[in-house]
Structures are given as C-alpha cells and as structure tokens.
Amino acid sequence: MSDADLFARIDGIRQLGSVVRAMTGIAGARARTARLQMAAVEIYAATLHDAVSQGLAGPALAEDRLTARPALVVFCAEQGFVGGFTDRVLEALGAVPPETDLFLIGSRGVAIATARGLHPVWSAAMPSRSASLPKFADRLLAAVFADSVLRAVSVVHAVWARGQVTTDRRVLFPAPRAEGGAPCAAPLTNLPAADLAAALGLDQLHAAVTRAALHAFAAENEARMATMSAASRQIEAELVALDALARRQRQEAITAEIIEIASGAETGR
C-alpha cells in the first residue's frame, strides 16, 4: 500500500469514527429521554389502576362482545445498526395463528418480517422522537379498533435489560380485572359508573400501548448504542494497526534513503 493510499485510508476511518460517535450520542440521548418519559407513563398507569381498584372497574367484558379477529401488535426496529434486535422480537412471536391480525411497527422490522413470510394487515414507521409516541398510540389504537369493532389485543415488544435485548408479551385488552387491596366504598362521581369505567378502560389501554412503544423505542436505541460501541472499538483497533503500519513504512523509507545516500557517498570517493 502506497503512502498516499495508507493516509487516505486512515483519514477515511477517522471520519467513520466521528460518524459512529455521533450516532452513539444520538441513540444515547434518545434512550435516556424515553426512560424519563417511561417513568411518567408508569406513574399515570398506576394512578389509573388505583382508580379502577376503587370500585370503578365496571362489569366484566363478555367474550361474545369481541366480534373481530384478535390483534397482535409487534414493535420492531425502525432503523438498522441494532444487531439482531428485530430477529429476537420476531422469534419471540413463534407461530402466529392464521386467525390473528398482525400489526407491525418499525420500517426495518416490516422488511425483515415480510422476508420471513409474515404479512401484517397494518404497519407503520416508529416515530423518530419519543415525545410523539402518545399521539402514535392514538393512531395505532384507531387502526386496531377500526369500524368500532371490539377485539382482543396483545402486544410484543423488546425490553433492554442487563445489557441485552429481551422480549415482553402481554394481553392489553380486555384488561385483567384489578385485584388485591382491601375493599373500599366506591368514590363519589359525577359521571354514570358505566361511562366512567369505559373512559378509564380506554385510558388504561392507551397508557399500556404508550408504555410498550416507549420500551421498544428505548430498547432499539440501547441496542444501537451497543452496536456502535462495538464498532468504535473495532475502528480504534484498526487505526492503531494502520498507524503502526504507517510508522513502519516511514521508517523503511527513511532507512532506504539513508542507505542510498551512504551508497552515493561511497561511490563518490
């Protein structure tokens, strides 16, 4: 490798390192923001749970009212550079029953799922900002309950824990009955009990979908940070090797020049 080619390669790898560090910083900032917002959603969901536990749960939803096919919402990766993030989520699905409607979130995940023979009835890109996820949850629920039909809803999403991607699968609708705690008198309300119970149920569902989206968003960015960190280490190792090669080539060039000068001096005597 000529000196010009070597220095061009070193410069190119250094520029790549700058890009990787920038991507790592962006992913880290997004993950931290999502985790802060997740804490707020958890508090909101706990408040709703407490309200439902205080005698506002309403009657149980009869199975015969679930007139549409069950829905399975799956949050995958929106972009690349996340290792096997989407593969782990899709593997957690197992065999999707043919009577289930699949709702896939994440552009990269949709492409991988389609290649695996999974065809969603609805798909969408994951928002690039976690602050947009509550509004995205509205859009998702509107698609799931289109035409005002009721259906069972489950969700599968990634969770980042102990430096690796795990998956969480749970039923969101109908919501499990609130249990635990001492019985208490129903609070005073200004709305009919049935209307209030329905409103609380919708809020619970929206909070659960937003929570799942935030977990998936944070996990994707954590996975990207891990991938970029590994890439940074590889880039640093490559730069060390190329710098050593450049020093060796310079030393060889200097040695050759000294030998040539010495040989010329001997010839001139």
Domains: count for the chain: 1
Q: Which H or E element spans position 177?
A: none
Examine residue 92 and state whether it is found in any structural domain, yes or no.
yes
- For the chain of 269 residues, list the mean pLDDT of each consecutive stretch of 10: 81 91 93 94 88 62 70 95 91 88 95 93 95 96 88 93 89 72 62 74 91 96 93 91 87 83 68
Q: Can you give the pLDDT at residue 161?
A: 85
Examine residue 243 and state whether it is found in any structural domain, yes or no.
no
Between the alpha carbon of residue 10 and those of residues 2, 18, 170, 216, 261, the distances in Å are 12, 13, 49, 37, 30
Examine residue 234 and state whether it is found in any structural domain, yes or no.
no
Backbone φ and ψ for 182, nearest 5 degrees, come out as: -75, 145
Place of tokens 């969700």: 155
Examine residue 233 and state whether it is found in any structural domain, yes or no.
no
Token pair in block for residue 181: 């705690």
Give the pTM: 0.83
Of the candidates 78, 165, 168, the one whose C-alpha atom is nearest the C-alpha of residue 123 is: 78
Examine residue 251 and state whether it is found in any structural domain, yes or no.
no
Examine residue 219 and state whether it is found in any structural domain, yes or no.
yes
| Interatomic CA distance for residues 63 and 60, integer angstroms | 9
Examine residue 69 and state whether it is found in any structural domain, yes or no.
yes
Domain span including residue 222: 17-176+192-227
DSSP-based three-state secondary structure for 65: helix
Examine residue 254 and state whether it is found in any structural domain, yes or no.
no
108: domain CATH number?
3.40.1380.10
Q: Can you give the pLDDT at residue 268?
A: 59
Between the alpha carbon of residue 165 and those of residues 41, 89, 100, the distances in Å are 21, 9, 25
